[in-house]
Structure 1
Amino acid sequence: MTLNARVLLALLPALTLAFAAVALRPRAEADRRLAVIRAAIAVAAGAVLCAELFSLLHWISPVPFLLAWLAATLGTGWLAWRSVEHRPGRPRLRNPGPVVLSIQVVVGLLVASELVLAVASSPNNFDSNSYHLAKIEHWVADGSLGNFATTQAQQIILVPGAELLLLHLRLLTGGDAPFNLLQWAAGLLGALAVARCAGQLGAGRAGQWLAAAVFLTAPAVALESTSTQNDLVVTAWVACAATLALEARRAPATWSQILALAGTAGLVTVTKSTGLMALLPVLVYWGVAQLRQKSFKPVLYALCSVGLAVAALAGPSLLRVQEAFGSPFGPPGYREALSTTRHDPPAILVNGLRLGASTLLSPVEAVNEAIGASVVRVAGAVGVDPNDPGITQWRSVFPGDRWKPDEDRSPYPVQSALVLLGTVVGLCVRRTRGYALVVLGALLTTAAIVKWQYWGNRLILPGFAVAAPLAGFALERALRVERAAVRWALSALMAVVLLAGAAHGYVAVYYGQPRRLVGQGSVFTLDDWQERFARMPDQAASYRTAIDQVRASGARRVGLVLDGDLWEYPLQIELRDRQLVELESQVPGHPPASVTSVDAVVCIGDPDHCRRIVPANWRYNRIDPLVTTAFPPA
């Protein structure tokens, strides 16, 4: 099968999703968005369960996955056909109006630009090259999801929900060409759920589009939508949980609603732990809404269903971590490096203020200094060191000053200010007060658990997504002020603010890092290999030299020695026809291979460390300060 034909196989999941959405569409036309959300949950949950089942059978290979997707596409296609037979014709499209049309144009062009960038880019995120994508290649090589020897403990410790979805694309297409599209699609799903939440809170069509625009134009969202990270995937699942929870206000939950909510909880748990901080208040809100209607049985059923879904979707990966490290959360040192160890109210307050302040960084240095100084003063007033190690990751120092559009650190000041304003308005309006408390709960829980760090802006995207509907709700209320002069003034101010926020989003796509559409370093001026090394451009030639030397030697079994979080993935994709083994391991119960069992060694890191592993009589080639190869004597 040719490469182009295999890439087309990536359409099978998309077709399955489309057919499932048609089959699950309620008879009410207004609930088409709900059908898409339910279909996404069902397809993603099925993909995770399928991967786990095939792993038990050691079927992590292209043929079983291809057959599974063919069956899923045909099955959902038949259900969609049966469903369409009994549906009325398509509804007449409504005139969107000038406000909605303007938002649609601005957001549509941004999303289209992201799609071009996602398709044109090769995966080049730092963490992806280190562990997100590297673990997928280990699974394919081993034929299972079981633990393996590695020095990159994150490949084992971190839950693999997004990577399991990418695994399907990897086996269907034979490469990583469509990988960026997962987060792009997750961004659209998140926006769909955010807009629906705004509508459930009482926003009209304009308010729903405004909520979606606030979410989609956030630079962190725009940058993640072309990436192989997992923050946008978990954010989408949390947003789906929020709109499902709002359904509980109207009537006792049905089984379909309970199962959808449970599936979403399982997907959040298996994708990224940062999503749990926003998910927990959402689930509490759902339960309280049901109890207020004296619906006790649905709450009991939901508790059982959520537990079963989490066990089915996340349980296998947590058990693998338990097997390796004696705890489903990994070694204690790793947990303490990322999670707060202080939980007293002053520490939580300071941590929350720092998390919020980091999202508000802007190109205006005076504003950044004022915000940072204010947080430091509050910290002093409550007796908390603003860089207390109990609430700060060890390599980070507050206040940070990184305002530029960078995937790992970009702030979103306009959008963050709007959701904060929306939350205040939500607390003042009876209809939205309960949901605003959910937002505060999500922010408080995040501040209590997630240490402040330079890379924290992307970690709090789930809480941002939960809050975005309130921004749309509040902005639309400004458009409905009775006094014409005030309404026009507010509308003009809103237009300026929203355009400034959208401009920041466009800058992120066109000039952001590590992928950009135009300017120096554009994806259209770099070849595939250069794109992959956008984060480490000086190492592109060194990695290529090491790979060429291994191929020239004729080595079939290659040993790897990697320091810290340096990159394994480029070696894996270029040496897929070789057997790669680790010569060191941080995974208990999975010892490394012996250096005497390999035909060549590639070391990425300290060359002195490499010399301590490689026998003294081997030929040793130092390519640069980080990259070294070694071969046995002729």
Structure 2
Amino acid sequence: MMFLIPTAMGLATANCYVAFYRNAEQPFRRSLISAAILVFLFIAVSTEVLGLFNLINRVAIAVSWAILDIALAVTWFRLESIHGLTFPTIAKHWLNGTRNFCQELGAFTIAMLAVLSLVTLVVAIAAIPNNQDSLSYHLSRLGYWIQQGNVAHYASHIERSISFSPFSEYVHLYTFLLSGSERYFQLLQWSCLAGVLALVSMIIRLFSNSRAALRIGLCFAATLPIVVLESMTTQNDLVVAFFVLATVFFVFDYIRNNHLASLYLIPLCCAVGMMTKGTFLFYVLPFGTYLLISMLRKPVFRKHIVAFTAASLIFTLALNVPYWYRTYEIFASPVGTISSGNQNTFTGPADYVSSVSKHAFLHLGFVSPGNQYNDFLLNQLRNLHAAMGIPLDVPRLGMPFKMNKLNFNEDFAHNFFGIWLIIFSIPLLIFTRLPKAAKWYGWLTFLSILVFCFFISYQTYGSRLHIPFFLLAAPVVGLTYGSVLSAWSARLLPFLLWVAALPFALLSSAHPFLSTKWFFEKIFPPINSALHLNIRVDAANLNLKQESVFYASPGRLFWGDHWPGTETLLKQVNALNPQKIGFVFTEASFDYAYQFLLRKPGRTFAHVRVTNPSRMLEDPAFQPDVIIAEKNEGAGFDYHEKSYRLTMESDGKWLYVPIK
């Protein structure tokens, strides 16, 4: 049944092409992006509607997609008869457009992008999802939603699973139920990166016909280390980046070309973008303000401002209020309480400068002999804070600061070369001759990260939260460097970025294409020692030494060096053949990993002895046959009129069974 989704995408793309874009520039890319937004909107709306009737199951979802496909097919036949265009005809137009685009990029650039895309695609399909956040809350939600037949909140020790925005998981829910497999989970982020690259190319083309700008901008976006690593995961930063860039493209397309379709796609992007991740708002706020000011200034736009504003509010609220309300009922806040520590609390201007500087320095660190480079930068940051009269590390401004060296994990990798290219693009943006609209785009991009730094405090994993900014900056980097570099330099820069990005595609610490165990045991130690890089490569460094995803077992990919102890416990659980399994977890427990390895027909899971406000949702009739705990609950306890005793402890995990 999985074919229902690509069928919908194909029909929606064809309908958008014929109805809106057949005479526009870049018609195929415009049609594809618009179709993706409409399909995403359908997923968001249909999930909420089906959930109201407890119809989150394979049959109901397949029927809903079949209805969508039929509706799109009927629409296509009507458009075909009106405009006299057939599928073979428009497919030929798309093929010609794709061929022209590839000629613009050149064979060398196409080859570099293809290698990165192919490697990450293979890993995304072959690897079992094992990102830490995904195991804790991104994917763990799916099992409970399917179990209860709706997307209502449930009792959970992991507050993020019942308070963080759910859209990406709605997509995973559909692909899992339609295919019966986890293999499609990581394709969402990979596909969104493909969409982002299409949008980057479209934004550059709004302002320039320079081939150098196009090549540099696309390669900059595709080779950012954190982007490469996240494209192989089930996180949601690339998904929200897709909606951010789509919104920004439609803003400038409407202002420059007066495309009404672009104006009314913005509310749809805003609605689903907010449903994906709250950071969407910070990145689009400057561009939204720019759009409103532009609409107020020009009479030709002014007549649409009321309808546009109303549509934006109605779509965003209609789509998001149900989830916000469910969260509010539990936590007395529409966004929960778990993310409160990520917010800045300012007492003066120096606090804001501190936030901006720490967010920037997060990406400036790198490896060097004796760590001299990082020590120098850290001293400059400390001197800046001393001059302002505030500590470098203060709780109201985020986590304790730490300079990065070199990290191959999708939560912590930073963009060393990317940040320096962006920094040097600022004077270029001032002095190079670019269209006025391009300069406005650039300054609004820089303003977007300043807005982000105002609201969000420094975090060691902040690099992934910066993904939308770096991708927004890709057209700026392409346009500025493309206008000043010589022909050979404009070809060399993308190649150097590609070389620097390739290790991240091949040697991810979470799911490597090649074995990192071989690299970090045989190749890297002599380099580390000779250059005095002082990089830890032992087990404490996020299980850095991993087998290739083509050989590692799911358990090893989930728990790394802790797998043997966990395997012992899980074997004991299965030996008891329980039908109902209770979990006592911490916020960081790998909920999905337990579900994946213990899943059997008829077996159900639930969080028990929950201590946060969601305990009100615990089912008093649920009496587990076993309880797995990642917190020591003592020798025994009573739960729902049953007494449980400790029977096993293994590697920080406790197994409790009923006393008969």
Same fold (TM over 0.5): yes
Unaligned runs of 5+ in 2: 518-546
- The change in CA–CA distance for 1:252 and 1:207 in structure 2 (over 3 A counts) is same
1:166 to 2:172 alignment = yes
Match of 1:380 among 386, 393, 396: 386
Match of 1:23 among 11, 15, 18: 15
1:48-447 alignment runs, 5 A limit: 48-80=44-76, 83=79, 85-86=84-85, 89-90=92-93, 91=96, 93-94=99-100, 100-252=106-258, 254=260, 256-294=261-299, 295-331=301-337, 334-342=338-346, 344-364=348-368, 365-393=371-399, 397-428=400-431, 429=434, 430-447=436-453
Match of 2:497 among 501, 520, 526: 501
**Cα offset for 1:145?**
0.9
Deviates more, 1:226-235 or 1:504-513: 504-513
**Cα offset for 1:199?**
1.2
2:288 and 2:48 mapped to 1: Cα distance? 26
**Cα offset for 1:502?**
1.6
Equivalent position SS for 1:144: coil
Cα deviation digits, residues 341-379 of structure 1 (max 9, x gap): 126332222211211121232233433333333222222
Indicate if the aligned counterparts of 1:349 and 1:447 stay in contact, CA closer than 8 A.
no
1:619 and 1:195 mapped to 2: Cα distance? 61
Match of 2:520 in 1: none
Match of 1:34 among 30, 36, 40: 30
1:625 to 2:651 alignment = yes
1:219 and 1:424 mapped to 2: Cα distance? 25
Cα deviation digits, residues 303-342 of structure 1 (max 9, x gap): 11111111122221111111111121213xx343111112
User: Residue 194 of structure 1 aligns to which amino acid in structure 2?
Assistant: V
Indicate if the aligned counterparts of 2:634 and 2:646 stay in contact, CA closer than 8 A.
no
**Cα offset for 1:104?**
1.4
- The change in CA–CA distance for 1:315 and 1:372 in structure 2 (over 3 A counts) is same
Indicate if the aligned counterparts of 2:15 and 2:75 stay in contact, CA closer than 8 A.
yes
Cα deviation digits, residues 34-74 of structure 1 (max 9, x gap): 11111111100110000000000110111010111122233
2:178 and 2:326 mapped to 1: Cα distance? 25
Equivalent position SS for 1:24: helix
- The change in CA–CA distance for 1:510 and 1:83 in structure 2 (over 3 A counts) is farther
Indicate if the aligned counterparts of 2:608 and 2:618 stay in contact, CA closer than 8 A.
yes
Match of 1:483 in 2: none
Match of 2:39 in 1: 43
Equivalent position SS for 1:523: coil
Indicate if the aligned counterparts of 1:361 and 1:412 stay in contact, CA closer than 8 A.
no
User: Residue 27 of structure 1 aligns to which amino acid in structure 2?
Assistant: R
Cα deviation digits, residues 286-318 of structure 1 (max 9, x gap): 222323323222222221111111112222111
**Cα offset for 1:16?**
1.3
Indicate if the aligned counterparts of 1:151 and 1:587 stay in contact, CA closer than 8 A.
no
1:465 to 2:471 alignment = yes
Match of 1:607 in 2: 632
Indicate if the aligned counterparts of 2:237 and 2:464 stay in contact, CA closer than 8 A.
yes
2:616 and 2:652 mapped to 1: Cα distance? 26
Match of 2:606 among 578, 581, 586: 581
1:545 and 1:289 mapped to 2: Cα distance? 64
**Cα offset for 1:24?**
0.3
Deviates more, 1:347-356 or 1:110-119: 347-356
Indicate if the aligned counterparts of 1:421 and 1:471 stay in contact, CA closer than 8 A.
no
Cα deviation digits, residues 475-530 of structure 1 (max 9, x gap): 22124xxxxxxx36xx43x5554333222321111011211101231111212332
Cα deviation digits, residues 168-194 of structure 1 (max 9, x gap): 112112231210100000111111111
Equivalent position SS for 1:58: coil
Count of residues in correspondence between the two structures: 606
Q: Give the alignment's TM-score, normalised by structure 1.
A: 0.90
1:360 and 1:468 mapped to 2: Cα distance? 18
User: Residue 157 of structure 2 aligns to which amino acid in structure 1?
Assistant: T
Indicate if the aligned counterparts of 2:648 and 2:655 stay in contact, CA closer than 8 A.
yes
- The change in CA–CA distance for 1:52 and 1:593 in structure 2 (over 3 A counts) is closer
1:241 and 1:343 mapped to 2: Cα distance? 33
Match of 1:517 in 2: 513
Indicate if the aligned counterparts of 1:423 and 1:439 stay in contact, CA closer than 8 A.
no
**Cα offset for 1:203?**
4.5
Give me the CA root mean square deviation. 2.4
Equivalent position SS for 2:650: coil
**Cα offset for 1:402?**
4.2
Indicate if the aligned counterparts of 1:21 and 1:35 stay in contact, CA closer than 8 A.
yes
User: Residue 354 of structure 2 aligns to which amino acid in structure 1?
Assistant: V
Indicate if the aligned counterparts of 1:342 and 1:390 stay in contact, CA closer than 8 A.
yes
- The change in CA–CA distance for 1:340 and 1:612 in structure 2 (over 3 A counts) is farther
Equivalent position SS for 1:607: coil
- The change in CA–CA distance for 1:568 and 1:496 in structure 2 (over 3 A counts) is same
2:281 and 2:481 mapped to 1: Cα distance? 28
Equivalent position SS for 2:383: helix
1:70 and 1:436 mapped to 2: Cα distance? 43
**Cα offset for 1:418?**
2.1
**Cα offset for 1:561?**
0.9
- The change in CA–CA distance for 1:201 and 1:349 in structure 2 (over 3 A counts) is farther
Unaligned runs of 5+ in 1: 1-8, 480-486
1:74 and 1:206 mapped to 2: Cα distance? 43
Indicate if the aligned counterparts of 2:125 and 2:186 stay in contact, CA closer than 8 A.
yes
Equivalent position SS for 1:601: strand
**Cα offset for 1:473?**
0.7
- The change in CA–CA distance for 1:500 and 1:379 in structure 2 (over 3 A counts) is farther
Equivalent position SS for 1:390: helix
1:95 and 1:582 mapped to 2: Cα distance? 52
Match of 1:568 in 2: 591
Match of 1:4 in 2: none
User: Residue 140 of structure 1 aligns to which amino acid in structure 2?
Assistant: I
Q: Give the alignment's TM-score, normalised by structure 2.
A: 0.87
1:11 to 2:37 alignment = no
Match of 1:3 in 2: none
Equivalent position SS for 1:250: helix
- The change in CA–CA distance for 1:495 and 1:386 in structure 2 (over 3 A counts) is farther
1:49 and 1:315 mapped to 2: Cα distance? 12
2:278 and 2:347 mapped to 1: Cα distance? 18
2:427 and 2:311 mapped to 1: Cα distance? 34
2:101 and 2:477 mapped to 1: Cα distance? 24
Deviates more, 1:171-180 or 1:154-163: 171-180
Match of 2:571 in 1: 548
1:347 and 1:284 mapped to 2: Cα distance? 25
Equivalent position SS for 2:316: helix
